[in-house]
């Protein structure tokens, strides 16, 4: 059991949850993720480590409520418990990067970009962050990101905050003016694909963090298969970070859509249960 010590609503759909998890906090590194199960009837689902406090023995995740499990987590409050949390899983962001870096976070991917940007800054990189969101209400983690970045740009699709447009508009301007050593993009698959397509021609190394469907997180179930440089890789143990120029994003999108019918049935059933007061069952 992991007690929730802090819960904050960052946007109408996105919440921040800090949980007691001493062993995880002691071993956590930027770029890694955990797999949670809310209750005994729950499925296992992955979330990136947003932050950790080794002294307090807590970890923090940021979660967008898109389906049953994420809605269940966002419905919990301070003092409630998460049944189990496995991890930290996946490779940490590799050290040894230097020079000028652009980190891009799209949607809830902004929360996943934060520990990466912070780590790269600690490594001595000059870090520019581009945050992208659909609208003003969906811009998250901006103040934390400003504290650990050299420059920050915010874009919203509808222009209600920051610049109107996509993260790739700002990226095109930046890489058109100056030489960058690395671009690190985390967000929706079409965004990571667009970023990788843009940087390929300019020869800028580009890393992405893949959010493929995961189940066990150990490389055993095969659920998170991705086609990478013409070969099969497992995002949970070989990633989640990969060279964006070698990822088959079309295959990844196809696999992500595979369970949509079942997810819809499950969400409809959960929302019906919520209406009649059986929400977390
Ligand atoms: C390494 C990794 C890190 C992630 N980090 C974050 C994070 O920090 N914050 C966040 O909000 N989300 C994160 N996600 C996505 C999150 O795991 C999914 O949104 C969640 O599993 C959806 O579950 P659900 O039951 O709420 O929705 P469902 O109805 O099951 O699914 C809704 C959509 O979420 C995706 N999804 C479903 N199951 C999984 C699964 N087991 N693994 C991955 N994607 C799935 C699918 O695209 C699906 O269409 C991460 C995913 C991965 C693989
Ligand atoms: S989640 Fe099962 S192999 Fe990666």
Tell me the per-residue pLDDT of 214-273, one tens digit each, with 9 for 90 and over.
989 999 999 999 999 999 999 999 999 999 999 999 989 887 666 666 667 676 777 777
213: CA distance to ligand 2 center in Å?
A: 8
Residue nearest to atom 3 of ligand 2 (CA): 219
Q: How far is CA 114 from CA 51, 52, 130, 184, 221, in A?
A: 9, 12, 11, 11, 29
Distance, CA 210 to ligand 2 centroid (Å)? 12
Ramachandran region of residue 229, left (φ > 0), alpha (ψ -120 to 50) or beta?
left
Per-residue pLDDT, averaged over 196-215, amounts to 94
83 CA to middle of ligand 2, Å? 21
Q: 33 CA distance to ligand 2 centroid (A)? A: 13
Determine the Cα–Cα distance for residues 20 and 257; give it in Å rounded to an integer. 33
Chain-centre distance for alpha carbon 39: 22
For residue 35, which ligand has an atom nearest its CA?
Answer: 1
CB 46 within 8 A of CB 34: yes
Averaged pLDDT score across all residues of the chain:
93
Q: What is d(CA 7, CA 20) in angstroms, rounded to the nearest whole number?
A: 12
Measured between alpha carbons, how far is 234 from 255 in angstroms, rounded to an integer? 13
R_g over Cα of the chain: 18
Percent of all residues in the chain with a pLDDT value above 70, rounded to a whole number = 94
Q: How many residues does the chain have?
A: 281
Q: Which residues are within 8 A (CB) of 159 and not within 5 positions of it... i.e. 6 or more apart?
A: 165
Which segment of 53-62, 192-201, 210-219, 236-245 scores lowest on mean pLDDT?
210-219
Which tokens in the block code for residue 279? Answer: 């929400």
Q: Is 234's C-beta closer than 6 angstroms to any atom of ligand 1?
A: no
Q: Under DSSP, is residue 207 helix (H, G, I), strand (E, B) or coil?
A: strand
């Amino acid at each position: 059991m992991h007690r929730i010590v802090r819960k904050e609503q960052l946007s109408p759909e996105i919440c921040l949850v800090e949980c007691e998890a001493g062993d995880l906090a002691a071993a956590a590194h930027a770029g890694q993720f955990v797999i949670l199960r809310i209750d005994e009837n729950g499925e296992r689902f992955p979330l990136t480590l947003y932050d950790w406090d080794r002294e307090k023995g807590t970890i923090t995740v940021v979660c967008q409520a898109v389906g049953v499990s994420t809605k269940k987590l966002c419905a919990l409050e301070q003092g409630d418990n998460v049944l189990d949390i496995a991890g930290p899983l996946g490779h940490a962001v590799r050290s040894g990067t230097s020079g000028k870096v652009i980190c891009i976070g799209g949607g809830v991917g902004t929360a996943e970009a934060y520990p990466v940007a912070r780590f790269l800054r600690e490594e001595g990189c000059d870090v520019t962050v581009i945050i992208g969101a659909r609208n003003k209400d969906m811009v998250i983690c901006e103040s934390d990101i400003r504290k650990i970045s050299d420059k920050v740009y915010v874009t919203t699709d509808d222009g209600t905050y920051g610049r109107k447009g996509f993260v790739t508009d700002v990226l095109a301007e930046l890489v058109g003016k100056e030489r960058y050593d690395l671009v690190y993009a985390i967000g929706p698959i079409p965004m990571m694909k667009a970023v990788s397509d843009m940087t390929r021609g300019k020869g800028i190394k580009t890393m992405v963090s893949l959010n493929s469907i995961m189940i066990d997180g150990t490389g055993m179930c095969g659920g998170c298969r991705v086609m990478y440089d013409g070969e099969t890789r497992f995002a949970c143990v070989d990633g989640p970070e990969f060279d964006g120029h070698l990822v088959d994003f079309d295959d990844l999108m196809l696999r992500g859509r595979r369970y949509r019918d079942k997810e819809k049935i499950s969400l409809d059933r959960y929302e019906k249960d919520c209406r009649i007061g059986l929400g977390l069952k």
